[in-house]
Structure 1
Amino acid sequence: MVRIGQAIMLHRGGDREEARNRFAALWEETDPRTDLFHRCTIAHYMADTQDHPADELAWDLRALAAADALRGDHVSWGEHQLAVRSLYPSLHLNIAAGHVKLGDEEAARRALDKARATLDALTADAYGEGVRAAIERLEKRIADGAASPDGTADGPGGGTDHLP
């Protein structure tokens, strides 16, 4: 987790390329059967370092797949149960935002429906309120035509709907 945190700090500090390189190395080092929480976290943040919307969406989908695998009956959630549950609204929001960037309004709406369905996992703190507000903003952008072929996928303040 320390190395994941360091890569996150690099990205937030503006060094996307080095963050992407470190996330890629961490991804290769983790075991897809036993390191599901770490893989979910790595993929979730790796998405933010991508230059192309399709690549960003692919990493968001990997993060969701790792989170879903953690929920399986054969896996013990352990200490990560609350963290993973609270990530679901953001994971689905990020997937919706990716679909908007790619112009797929129907897929974006489905992902937003899933995000809304998991909001009960969030507490009434700044993070939870931020996710709820980002869902509202993205829904408005879609209603305003952001996912149409002529729409501006990123809209005002683009990229703000992709949350940690």
Structure 2
Amino acid sequence: MTATPASSDPTMDAISRAVVEGRAGDVAPARRKLLALWSAIGVTGDPLHRCTLAHYLADLHEDPAQALAWDIRALDAADAVTEQGVRERHAGLRIAGFYPSLHLNLADDYRRLGSFEAAAEHVDAAEERAPDLPQDAYGAFLRTAIAEVAEAVSRRDTAERASAPGPTRQGVAKVNACSDARSPGG
């Protein structure tokens, strides 16, 4: 299900432009732009902006500890997002749909750091929230990624997944939990 933005949001537009730049391979400038936006938004700013920005900024760090810090910020911000706040920006979007991807990202970060118990907790949280995903290619992609991370956790594997997002894997886009105008949380 595709949602239509209710109105233009200059901050989301700026985040999107930086993300496109980062995915095109211009990681350092994209990171600088997102960090400048983070400073402008502030830690108490609009939670949807913070969630989106932190979620994307995590993608621009190859170091799983740095990605983890940003993914934690994204989850914290998502907890402050209201259904009304999401729907004002994207009709049909639900905050519940953000959580499978957010927990997946945390599980993968913890796994890569060798913290398998924490990784397993977030895999469980992602699986518990997977019913909130749409029954389409996006939902299938996330369900597959959750299964891949769960399997890697069970093997105690800390290697980076080929399907994982990141600055060195152009064309492999992290499923954005916070601003993709897809289904409940895309």
TM-score, normalization: structure 1?
Answer: 0.86
Unpaired runs of 5+ in structure 2?
A: 1-11, 167-173, 177-186
Change in Cα spacing, 1:55 to 1:78, as seen in structure 2 (3 Å) is: closer
Aligned AA for 2:49?
A: H
Quote how far apart the aligned CAs of 1:84 are.
2.8
Structure 1 match to 2:160: 154
Unpaired runs of 5+ in structure 1?
A: 147-151
Structure 1 match to 2:75: 64
- CA separation in 2, counterparts of 1:123 and 1:154? 26
Contact map agreement 1:103 1:153 (CA 8 A) in 2: no
TM-score, normalization: structure 2?
Answer: 0.76
**Structure number with higher relative contact order (C-alpha < 8 Å, ≥ 6 residues apart):** 2
Q: Which has the higher helix share?
A: 1
Change in Cα spacing, 1:53 to 1:78, as seen in structure 2 (3 Å) is: closer
Quote how far apart the aligned CAs of 1:100 are.
0.6
- What value does the CA root-mean-square deviation take over the aligned residues? 2.1
Structure 2 match to 1:163: 175
Aligned AA for 1:163?
A: V
- CA separation in 2, counterparts of 1:163 and 1:109? 20
What does 1:36-55 correspond to in 2, within 5 Å?
36-55=47-66
- CA separation in 2, counterparts of 1:134 and 1:51? 18
Contact map agreement 1:122 1:128 (CA 8 A) in 2: yes
